[in-house]
Structures are given as structure tokens and as C-alpha cells.
Structure 1
Amino acid sequence: MTLRLIQIVTQEGERRVLAGQDDGSARAINGVTSTYELARKAIAAKKSLDAQVAVQGLGEEVDVALALSEGRVLAPIDHPDAAHLHVTGTGLTHLGSAEGRDKMHKAAAAAETQTDSMRMFLMGVKDGKPEAGKVGAQPEWFYKGNGTQLVGPGAELQSPSFAEDGGEEPEMAGIYVIGDDGAPYRIGYALANEFSDHVTEKQNYLWLAHSKLRPASLGVEILTGELPKDVRGTSRIWRGNEVIWEKPFISGEDNMSHTFANLEHHHFKYDLFRQPGDVHVHCFGTATASFADGVQTKDGDVFEITAAPYAYGLRNPLITRAEEKVAVNVL
């Protein structure tokens, strides 16, 4: 059974986690106030999420569209201690994803027959979908931050004052909780905007790590179970009432050079990422970004990402933070 897990704040200021239906309706899950709490209960009871929801029972019906309009929908996963939530990702994982990246790096690597990006992409094409039980090619991997970097639907994507660019990346994100046994448990998949600084990355590929230290947003719902093999959606940028850029994007394993299992293996093979109680939001990459088409975003632009089978899209405005003075104190 596929669940749509949604987190909101009620008009009275109380948290709720909802079980959404395909028709857009949703009901509160009794006895829990967060997706994290629900997942921890299911892991402890050795039950599936839908079985745990059946144990908890469902309460009142909730108008998710109203909650969205009132800014009461949260990111669909969080952690009581933001330092125990990790936001990470893998790139060059989708068929066609090397093209835009390769354009960025060709000028800096004109003497080479292939850029590092293209070589890594081709490694995935060759061995990113190994047979069951075997380990495939290692993907590009990056760190985005902890739970303080994660925002929900409608929230601002804040670009730091020193950023060269703020651009969208429409992706699927895997959502995981680490059990007390140190094993990762996947809750499901959420729509994500893996917001990045592409201009910084373009200047020098070794600055990729810097370009990824930005917030990321998650859509309204986590879909439990397996993601469809073919996911198709649309990414847009609104400037006022005008769409200044729009393009379809695709995801799902039919459109990828890696399997999700291979990407998960290369993330969770590190003991660091199997600490009991931690939450992981892992972005799986995209082949579509407006920067590759020469778009320069501005403060006030709104990123919009929609994709079936998600009932709700993801919209986030872009804003640049005021300059921050950072001083290191000597003790």
C-alpha cells in the first residue's frame, strides 16, 4: 500500500502528520505528531508504515490545500535535533545529465578529450545498474548540510550574500531513518528542489562542494513504497505573473544510469551515515536545470516543480540574504 505522508501545523499551532489519499484528501494519524515519530514506531514494532498507521488509526480529515494556502505545511520529514538530519545527494545519475555539466566544464578542460564529469557519467552508464547482490560504479556524491538547510513548500530558498547564483534542480529525494540496529530504513520518496550555485561550480569543478552548501526544499508529501520506474514532471520559473523558463524533467530508474539501490549502497556504506536515530534526505540527481539554458535568476523568482504521481507541486521563492559578517573569536 502506498501512503502519502504530510506534515502540517494546525490553525491552533499543533503539529500533525497526515495520511494523504490519491484524491487529495488526508486524515490525521492518531498518536504521532511527526513522520519521524511514526517511522521510529514502525521500526521498533518491526512493521511496515501502512501497518503501523493501521495500528495508530486515523482521526479528523484535514484540508491540505487550505493548509498550503495559509503556509502551514511543513517539509514532510524533520528531526527533533536538526544536527541529526543529513541532506546529501548524487549527481550525473540521469541519462542526459552529463550534457549540461559537460558544457560548463569544457572550457576549463579544453586540453582534455573528456571532462571528469563525462568520465564519471560514463562509468555510471557502464556499471551503475549492477546485478542484484553486486556493487556497481560509485557515483558523484556531495553534502548539502543538516536539517537547518531543509525547507518546506512555500518557504524561501535563501541564497547567501556571497553566492554567484541560485538555481533550481528538480529531483527525487529518498527519505530514510536509521534504526537502533544501525540499519537504514527508507520511508519513501519526496519531490525536491536541490538548490545550487551553478556559477561557482562552473568557475572550478573543485568548488562543487561550495556550490552545494545551500538549502534544499521538499514537496508536500512522501510517497511510501517504490518509486515508479518512469517519473515525468515540469520545472518552471515564475517572475511575477510570467513564466520565464519551463522545461520537462524525467526521473525514475528507466531514465537513470544508476539504480536507486546502487546509489543507496554508496551512501550508506559509510558508518558515519548509519548512526541510530539519524534522518537522511538524499537527492538523486536531475538532467534538467535552467542554468544550462542561460537563465539568470533574480530575487523574487519562484521555482515551481510538479510531477506525477505527486498530488501537490513544490513552489519556493528565491531571496538573497543580507551580507553576514563572520568573525572567528580566539579563546
Structure 2
Amino acid sequence: MLLSQIKTLDGNSRVVVRDGTEAYIISGVSSTYELVMKSIKNGLTLAEQINRLEFEQAVDLHHLHHRHQLITPIDKPSDIHMHVSGLQEMRTMPKIAEISVVGQDGNLFTVGFCMAYILPTELISHRAAPLSLQVGEDAVLLGPEILTGDLPEAIMGTLSQVRNGQVIYKDRLSLNEIFIAYPRVKFKFETSHTADVFIQLFSPFERFQTPDTKMQDGDVFELAIDQFGLPLDNPWKPNMLQKQARA
């Protein structure tokens, strides 16, 4: 099951649940965070909580993604802290983000997993900005959809460079044997409180060879892993760095 958030034409946010190709707006909640807090309060899993709510109209997520109406798959109220860890670990590698919320008992309630990538803020395009979180001088790009449940044992994906609609570079991503052999360690910040959001980034993939092709203005960087739903993409804007250097 996949969860995402969309921004409607009237400016409101809604939560979308998808199973296969069928995607529906969930009634009764306006954000993934609100859905998670309902689950925690009621002592239910996300799937159980969703089944207790009604669905509204079906939506075409691919169409909404093309219209840039998808936003970060989870956000938070202004009075809640969001903690991001794993920023100094293999920064240039594609990542998986484990998203959790601190429950009333102090334990982490796992929401799910999504694709992620770290880039300097100035390289985030206008199109990708709604899917990014500002962390210091960097931006963490999150995939449009959260995969709920356990992390798949087998993850295969691709990292592509697209120019004028044509793929000019593609490399396959496969899990690192060390990651498979040793489980991840979950941790909380000592200053965390109930209802805080945790995003733990980790790099489970084998290192790949950097492409020989240079990025040009308008090229699209795309990270795609089928189990995690819609791809994470960001049009390249190298001229933004050049403009800042001249300023």
C-alpha cells in the first residue's frame, strides 16, 4: 500500500492511498501526519485505520504528478519537531528514508519507507521543491509515495539521466551485501517528544559508476524503484550555481 499527499486546486492538502493502479482520496484526514496520529491514538496499524475510513473519488496520480500537485508524502504541524538523521552517510548515493512518528508510549511508530536524495538547495528545481525538506544548507528530496509495511527484502531500481525525453544514461541499483547482512539500528534523539516526526536516511545500495555524460540545463535526474511508486525526479539547473557565483 502506498500513501501520498496532493495539493488540490483550492490549495488544500489531501491524502491518497494506492494499491496497484487504483488510487483514492481518503476521507476524514487532510494529511498523512493526521492519519498516523489517528492510528496511534486508536492503537491501530495504518492499514486498519485506513479501512475504518471512507474513500472519496478516484484520482490519477500520474496526471497529478505531471501537474506538480504532489507534495512531500508527510509534513508536520508548526509546533511539532521533525528530526532528520543520516545526512553525512554517503551523501551522493540514492537513499531510502524510513519515516516514523513518536507514539504516546515513547516508541517509534513506523509509517513506511520512500526514496530519497540529498542535494544542495540551489540545485532543487521549482518542480521538485514541493517534494523537498530544507535541512541546513541542503534539501532532502523525498519520493512522492510512502510504501507502508515492512521494507522489501529485494529492492531493484534505476538511476537515470533524461535529456529531451530520451534516456542518455541509466544504471541499475542493487542492495549492498553488508546492508542485507546487518539490520539497521533505529534511534531517537534525546530531545524528542511524543508526536515528533523522524526521517532516518540510509544508503542500502552498491556504489555505482558516475556517468561520463555531463549534466546540461534541463536534464532530468530520475530515481525509480517500482515498489516505492512514482519516480523521484529533479530537472537540473546548473545555471543557478553560476548565477550565484557571479552575484
Q: TM-score, normalised by structure 2?
A: 0.79
| Contact 2:80–2:197 under 8 Å retained in 1 | no
Q: What does the per-residue CA deviation read over 1:151-181, in whole Å, with 9 as the maximum and x for residues that have no partner?
A: xxxxxxxxxxxxxxxx963222111111233
| Contact 2:2–2:229 under 8 Å retained in 1 | no
Largest Rg, 1 or 2: 1
Percent of aligned pairs sharing the same letter = 29
- Runs of 4+ in structure 1 off by over 6 angstroms are none
Structure 2 counterpart of 1:58: 55
Q: What does the per-residue CA deviation read over 1:43-88, in whole Å, with 9 as the maximum and x for residues that have no partner?
A: 1111100111112222221121221121101121111239722332
Q: Distance in 2 between matches of 1:82 and 1:231?
A: 35
Give the letter for the 1:15 counterpart. S
Q: State which of 274, 284, 295 in structure 1 corresponds to 2:202.
A: 284
| Contact 1:174–1:283 under 8 Å retained in 2 | yes
Q: Distance in 1 between matches of 2:182 and 2:43?
A: 21
Give the letter for the 1:27 counterpart. Y
| Contact 2:16–2:25 under 8 Å retained in 1 | yes
Structure 2 counterpart of 1:158: none
| Contact 2:118–2:141 under 8 Å retained in 1 | yes
Q: Distance in 1 between matches of 2:17 and 2:153?
A: 23
| Contact 1:168–1:289 under 8 Å retained in 2 | no
Match status 1:172 vs 2:96: yes
Structure 1 counterpart of 2:184: 263
Give the letter for the 2:190 counterpart. D
Q: TM-score, normalised by structure 1?
A: 0.61
Structure 2 counterpart of 1:229: 153
Q: State which of 10, 15, 18 in structure 2 corresponds to 1:17.
A: 15
Correspondences of 1:1-331 after superposition (within 5 Å): 3-22=1-20, 24-81=21-78, 84-89=81-86, 142=88, 169-195=93-119, 213-251=137-175, 255-258=176-179, 262-265=183-186, 267-268=187-188, 270-272=189-191, 274-285=192-203, 286-289=205-208, 291=210, 293=211, 296-319=214-237, 320=240, 323=244
| Contact 1:232–1:248 under 8 Å retained in 2 | yes
Give the letter for the 1:4 counterpart. L
Q: Distance in 2 between matches of 1:260 and 1:271?
A: 28
Structure 2 counterpart of 1:102: none
Return the structure number with greater strand share.
Answer: 2
Shift of 1:296: 4.6
Q: Distance in 2 between matches of 1:64 and 1:314?
A: 13
Shift of 1:213: 4.6
Q: Distance in 1 between matches of 2:166 and 2:96?
A: 26
Structure 2 vs 1, CA of residues 231 and 78 (structure 1 numbering), >3 Å: closer, same or farther?
A: same
Shift of 1:216: 1.9
Return the structure number with greater helix share.
Answer: 1
Unaligned runs of 5+ in 1: 90-140, 144-166, 198-211, 325-331
Shift of 1:276: 1.9
The secondary structure found in structure 1 opposite 2:152 is coil
Q: Distance in 2 between matches of 1:82 and 1:316?
A: 30
Q: Distance in 2 between matches of 1:168 and 1:14?
A: 34
| Contact 1:171–1:283 under 8 Å retained in 2 | yes
Shift of 1:195: 3.2
